[in-house]
């Protein structure tokens, strides 16, 4: 049998060689003999017998060499001539809904310049649509969630905006209504919300705590950074308003971890400083970062140089995470824990995220969208909560977003975790949700490699830490 290398990414961690297999997502530590077998095949494909002879000539026993080759074939690190044929799995026709993101309002009291809902690159077309969701629409949304969740035993609602808390009364009504409905069906339900923090009040905090509603605060770091773009309509920064309220929230809300989400822009990319402020000075449980989604020519867009700098800073902070993990401590850099969780499961994605699949967004009008970022966009509407899904459009969206439709990704080793990246990002960049986010490939591969190395180190020196990732995180 003629043997050739199949697809994998080879990396070193804690001084040992590892393989990240593609597309299965399996991670194996390999011994010296396997490493040698791989090196030989890397030079050129060859007959299995010839490879065996070479390994034996190098000092291995026939038995060992044979086992070694068989294992490399069985794990699909090696392939017979022509490579393995991967079956093409289509998007499932029916996929039970798990998370509904409800945009309670599309109004906001801040005017962050980069906002994907109001900014220069917005996809929303809110003209003529309601600004605040009505109770009736909200109830229909909840009914829709339970209907589409089918057999699922637990569902999730994320409250979103605009600024979510501008419609706090409706939030409470939705919680009441959906709790009752969930109890009737014997389904568990939990909630989270995303807010800019400006409208937090003691009674709201008390309510969120009592109902175990998870909170994510959008905030960009210390004052001088946060206030660059997160401003009120009059241009005034929001930090001084938010900081005391957030402290209040962090002091009192103890039923769910509270997270900060940072948008990195050209002027705001001092990752470590931002992390230290939000984690250690304000006391967030975890902090996640994402570079702004924008067309490349905006003033606040991060150019390639800037991105490399950001990756270098991410790397430094990720090593800090690793050091914590090796001591068995919680660090809070959620970009790392999210990636490690995916690597631990060994997921291999057909689609980059759950949008349009297990997750949907609904706007104040009741229009359904693939996720919160497409809310209120006519072009991306996937139906209405009163009528149900437009399954033809949904299938079209999913077919388009399938990894098999992204030619550029077919030879990329990072595709099990990336699968082409965010649909919204792709739409803003390329006008097409199914386009691979090619401007991020180096970043994605660099980041995945970094997290693999960290994963390997943790697996070597403190494997019990990985138990945190045994349970797959809900969306």
Partner 1 sequence: MRHLRAINKKARRIDDLQTATDGDVVAMQQNANAAQRPHYPMGCSIVFSPGWEVDSSGGTAGLCQPVERDLYDCYISCYWPAQVPDHLNNYPEWTSKCAAATKDWRNIDLVFP
Q: Site residues (CB under 8 A) for partner 1?
A: 18-19, 21, 24-31, 33-34, 63-64, 67-68, 70-72, 74-77, 343-348, 455-456, 459, 470
The Cα–Cα gap between 71 and 90 comes to 29
- Taking CB within 5 to 8 Å according to partner kind, which of partner 1, ligand SF4, none is near residue 24? partner 1
Minimum gap (Å) between residue 291 Cβ and ligand SF4 = 13
3-class DSSP assignment, residue 93: coil
Indicate the residue among 19 and 33 with the shorter CB distance to ligand SF4. Answer: 19
Closer by beta carbon to ligand SF4, 301 or else 353: 353
C-alpha span between 373 and 441 (Å, rounded): 22
Q: Minimum distance between the CB of residue 201 and ligand SF4, rounded to whole angstroms?
A: 29
Minimum CB–partner distance for residue 407 and ligand SF4 (Å):
10
Q: In the complex, what is the shortest distance from the CB of residue 277 to ligand SF4, in angstroms, rounded to a whole number?
A: 25
CB nearer to partner 1: give 24 or 369: 24
Closest CB to ligand SF4 among 250 and 414?
A: 414
Binding partner at 160 among ligand SF4, partner 1, none, C-beta below 5 to 8 Å by kind: none
Residue 265: alpha-carbon gap to chain centroid: 19
SS (H, E, C) 321-352: HHHHHHCCCCCCEHHHHHHHHHHHHCCCCCCC
Residue with Cβ nearer ligand SF4 (356 or 366): 356
DSSP one-letter string for 38-75: HHHHHH--EEHHHHHHHHHHTT--HHHHHHHHHHHHHT
Whole-angstrom distance, CA of residue 437 vs CA of residue 153: 34
The least distance separating ligand SF4 from the CB of residue 187, rounded to whole angstroms, comes to 23
Question: Element (H or E) spanning 145, and its range?
Answer: helix 135-149
Residue 353 touches which member of ligand SF4, partner 1, none, C-beta under 5-8 Å by kind: ligand SF4
Apex 290 CA angle, 397 and 357, nearest 5 = 25
- Both tokens of 149, joined, read 């969740």
Dist CA 244 CA 90 (whole Å): 50
Shortest CB 335 distance to ligand SF4, Å? 13
For residue 215, CA distances in Å to 140, 170, 246, 374 come to 24, 17, 11, 21
Task: Tell me if 11 sits within 8 A of 449, measured CB to CB.
Answer: yes
* Partner whose footprint covers residue 444, from ligand SF4, partner 1, none (CB < 5 to 8 Å by kind): ligand SF4
Q: How far is the CB of 474 from partner 1 (least distance, A)?
A: 17
- Per partner kind, with CB cut-offs from 5 to 8 A, the member of ligand SF4, partner 1, none near residue 437 is ligand SF4
Return the number of other C-beta atoms located less than 10 Å from residue 312's C-beta: 11
- Contact residues toward ligand SF4 (CB under 6 A) are 353, 355, 371, 373, 406, 408-409, 412, 414-415, 418-424, 436-438, 441, 444-445
Helix axes 32-43, 62-74, angle to 10 degrees: 70
Minimum distance, C-beta of residue 442 to ligand SF4, in the bound complex (Å): 8
Out of ligand SF4, partner 1, none, what residue 51 binds, judged by CB under 5 to 8 A for its kind, is: none
Q: Which does 25 bind (CB under 5 to 8 A by kind): ligand SF4, partner 1, none?
A: partner 1
Reduced to 3 states (helix: H, G, I; strand: E, B; else coil), residue 450 is helix
Out of ligand SF4, partner 1, none, which partner does residue 67 contact, by CB within 5 to 8 A per kind?
A: partner 1
């Amino acid at each position: 049998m003629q043997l050739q290398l199949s697809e994998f990414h080879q990396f070193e961690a804690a001084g040992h060689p590892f393989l990240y297999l593609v597309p299965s997502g399996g991670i194996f530590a390999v011994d010296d003999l396997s490493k040698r077998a791989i090196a030989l095949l890397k030079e050129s494909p060859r007959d299995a017998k010839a490879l065996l002879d070479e390994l034996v000539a190098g000092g291995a026993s026939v038995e060992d060499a044979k086992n070694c080759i068989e294992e490399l074939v069985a794990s699909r690190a090696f392939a017979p001539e022509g490579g393995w044929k991967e079956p093409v799995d289509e998007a499932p026709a029916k996929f039970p809904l798990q998370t509904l993101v409800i945009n309670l309002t599309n109004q906001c009291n801040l005017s962050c310049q980069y906002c994907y809902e109001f900014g220069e690159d917005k996809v929303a077309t809110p003209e003529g649509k309601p600004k605040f969701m009505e109770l009736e629409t909200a109830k229909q949304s909840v009914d829709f969630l339970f209907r589409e969740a089918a057999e699922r035993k637990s569902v999730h609602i994320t409250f979103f905006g605009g600024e979510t808390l501008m419609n706090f009364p409706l939030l409470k009504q939705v919680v009441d209504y959906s709790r009752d409905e969930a109890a009737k069906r014997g389904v568990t339900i939990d909630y989270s919300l995303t807010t800019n923090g400006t409208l937090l009040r003691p009674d709201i905090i008390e309510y969120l705590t009592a109902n175990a509603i998870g909170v994510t605060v959008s905030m960009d770091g210390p004052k001088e950074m946060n206030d660059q773009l997160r401003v009120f309509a009059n241009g005034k920064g929001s930090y001084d308003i938010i900081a005391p309220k957030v402290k209040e929230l962090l002091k009192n809300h103890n039923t769910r971890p509270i997270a900060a989400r940072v948008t990195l822009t050209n002027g705001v990319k001092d990752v470590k400083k931002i992390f230290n402020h939000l984690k250690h000075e304000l006391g967030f449980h975890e902090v996640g970062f994402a570079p702004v989604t924008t067309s490349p020519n905006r003033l606040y867009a991060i150019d390639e140089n800037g991105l490399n700098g950001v990756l270098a800073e991410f790397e430094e902070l990720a090593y800090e995470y690793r050091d914590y993990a090796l001591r068995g401590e919680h660090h809070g850099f959620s970009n790392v824990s999210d990636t490690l969780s995916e690597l631990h499961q060994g997921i291999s994605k057909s689609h980059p995220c759950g949008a349009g699949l297990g997750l949907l967004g609904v706007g104040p009008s009741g229009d359904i969208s693939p996720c919160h970022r497409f809310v209120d966009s006519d072009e991306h509407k996937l139906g209405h909560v009163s009528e149900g899904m437009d399954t033809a459009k949904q299938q079209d969206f999913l077919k388009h977003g399938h990894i098999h439709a992204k030619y550029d990704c077919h030879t990329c080793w990072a595709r099990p975790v990336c699968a082409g990246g965010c649909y919204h990002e792709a739409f803003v960049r390329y006008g097409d949700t199914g386009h691979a986010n090619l401007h991020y490939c180096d970043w994605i591969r660099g980041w995945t490699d970094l997290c693999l190395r960290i994963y390997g180190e943790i697996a070597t020196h403190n494997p019990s830490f990985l138990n945190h990732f045994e349970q797959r995180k809900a969306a």
